[in-house]
Structure 1
Amino acid sequence: MLLRFLDRFEEILISVLMALAVMLIFVAVVHRFSIGFAADMVGWARAHEMPGLQDFARSTFKAINSLKLTWAQEACIYLFVWMAKFGAAYGVRIGIHVGVDILAEKLEGSARKVITTIAMSGGIIFTFIIAWIGTTFVWEVARGGQTSPDLEMPMWIIYLAVPLGSALMCFRFIQALWIYLTTGEIAHHDLNSVEGVEEQAEEAAEGKS
């Protein structure tokens, strides 16, 4: 039950972060082009001696320019950082991380099991170290009281993505190793669900024949 909740939370969090980043980028781009369009309209109305349109364009420019979105780029960067860290843990869970498994694929039996166990254990150790160092770093930043330039958010909240994401990634590696040791199965993403991959595989097979 707890694992199911964690899986759903992970998926929802990544989806929400991605949606927020996309919407924020869209709004920021529309805002930037709207300011430019309103400024051009002011110049065009002045050149063609249209005072009514010029006043309308000037008021529109002031209204749009009053909406300050200088923080949007910074916010998008932080959203993508959080999305990337938790997305990495999600990648471990469903098996979409890039891995060099040519040696493991050539081995069989206990030798293959040992190599795979060592590889997964390496992932556990590495992500645990990153989570530990990240926690120490966040603690020091929180004590220093550093804030972000535009949003003026406490930077420790932003950097919290590193220890939390790494800790979740470490847990996913432990989960994957446990499943492998108990069932012999390794999570692999179904490439056939990716558009175009199945067709490329069939064309490659036909070329060899």
Structure 2
Amino acid sequence: MLLRILDRFEEILISVLMALAVALIFVAVLHRFSIGFAADLVGWARAYELPWLMDFARSTFKAINSIKLTWAQEACIYLFVWMAKFGAAYGVRIGIHVGVDILSDRLRGPAKTIITVIAMSGGILFTAIIAWIGAEFVWHVRAGGQTSPDLEMPMWIIYLAVPLGSALMCFRFIQALWIYLRTGEIAHHDLASVEGVREEGRDVAEGGHG
């Protein structure tokens, strides 16, 4: 039950972060385009001596320019950092991370089990170290009272993505190792389930038979 809740929370969090980042980028680009368009309209109205249009364009420019979105780029960066850290843990869970498996694929029996366990244990150790170092770093940043330039948010909240995401990734490696030791199965994303890849693979196969 708790695992299902964690899985769902992970998926919702990544989706929300991605949606917020995309929406914020869209609004920022639209805002920048609107300011440029209003400025050009002022110049065009002045050139063709249309005072009513020039007044309208000036008021529109002032209204849009009064909306400050200088923080948008910084916010997008932080959203993508959080999304990447938790997305990495999600990738471990469903098996979409790129891996060098040329050796393990050639091995059979106990040798393959040993190599796989060593590889997963390496992932557990590495992510645990990153989580520990990240937690210490966050603690020191919090004590220093550092804030972000534009959002003026406490930087320790932003850096919290490192220990939290790494800890979750470590847990996913432990979970994957436990499943492998019990069932011998490793989470693997089937590329054949992707529409474009499946069709391309079918074309290649048909061409080879031809």
- Give the TM-score band, short-chain normalised: over 0.9
Equivalent-residue separation in structure 1 for 2:50 and 2:192 (angstroms): 61
Q: Percent identity?
A: 83
Please say if 1:191 is aligned against 2:191.
yes
Find the residue that maps to 2:187 and give its secondary structure. Answer: coil
Find the residue that maps to 1:125 and give its secondary structure. Answer: helix
Equivalent-residue separation in structure 2 for 1:149 and 1:34 (angstroms): 25
- 1:3 shift after superposition: 0.2
Equivalent-residue separation in structure 2 for 1:49 and 1:203 (angstroms): 63
* Number of equivalenced pairs: 209
What whole-Å deviation, never above 9, does each CA across 1:3-42 have from its counterpart, x for those lacking one?
Answer: 0000000000000000000000000000000000000000
Q: Report the counterpart of residue 163 of structure 1 in structure 2.
A: 163
Which segment drifts farther, 192-201 or 69-78? 192-201
Equivalent-residue separation in structure 2 for 1:60 and 1:166 (angstroms): 47
Equivalent-residue separation in structure 1 for 2:195 and 2:201 (angstroms): 11
What whole-Å deviation, never above 9, does each CA across 1:58-104 have from its counterpart, x for those lacking one?
Answer: 00000000000000000000000000000000000000000000100
Q: Report the counterpart of residue 79 of structure 1 in structure 2.
A: 79
The two structures have a TM-score, normalised by structure 1, of: 0.98
Equivalent-residue separation in structure 2 for 1:39 and 1:130 (angstroms): 49
Please say if 1:45 is aligned against 2:69.
no
- 2:44 partner letter: W
The two structures have a TM-score, normalised by structure 2, of: 0.98
Which segment drifts farther, 190-199 or 101-110? 190-199
Equivalent-residue separation in structure 1 for 2:193 and 2:33 (angstroms): 38
Q: Report the counterpart of residue 114 of structure 1 in structure 2.
A: 114
- 2:99 partner letter: G
Equivalent-residue separation in structure 2 for 1:133 and 1:83 (angstroms): 20
Gaps of 5+ in 2: none
Equivalent-residue separation in structure 2 for 1:101 and 1:132 (angstroms): 28
- 1:207 shift after superposition: 4.2
Find the residue that maps to 2:67 and give its secondary structure. Answer: coil
Equivalent-residue separation in structure 1 for 2:202 and 2:101 (angstroms): 23
- 1:196 shift after superposition: 1.5
What does 1:129-168 align with in structure 2 at a 5 Å threshold?
A: 129-168=129-168
- 1:205 shift after superposition: 2.7
Q: Report the counterpart of residue 179 of structure 2 in structure 1.
A: 179
- 2:12 partner letter: I
Equivalent-residue separation in structure 2 for 1:151 and 1:195 (angstroms): 41
Equivalent-residue separation in structure 1 for 2:207 and 2:108 (angstroms): 29
Gaps of 5+ in 1: none
Equivalent-residue separation in structure 1 for 2:109 and 2:16 (angstroms): 43
- 1:3 partner letter: L
Moved over 6 A (4+): none
Equivalent-residue separation in structure 1 for 2:56 and 2:26 (angstroms): 25
Equivalent-residue separation in structure 2 for 1:18 and 1:127 (angstroms): 23
CA root-mean-square deviation: 0.8
Equivalent-residue separation in structure 2 for 1:133 and 1:180 (angstroms): 28
Equivalent-residue separation in structure 1 for 2:207 and 2:134 (angstroms): 50
Q: Report the counterpart of residue 18 of structure 1 in structure 2.
A: 18
- 1:190 shift after superposition: 2.0
Equivalent-residue separation in structure 2 for 1:53 and 1:201 (angstroms): 58
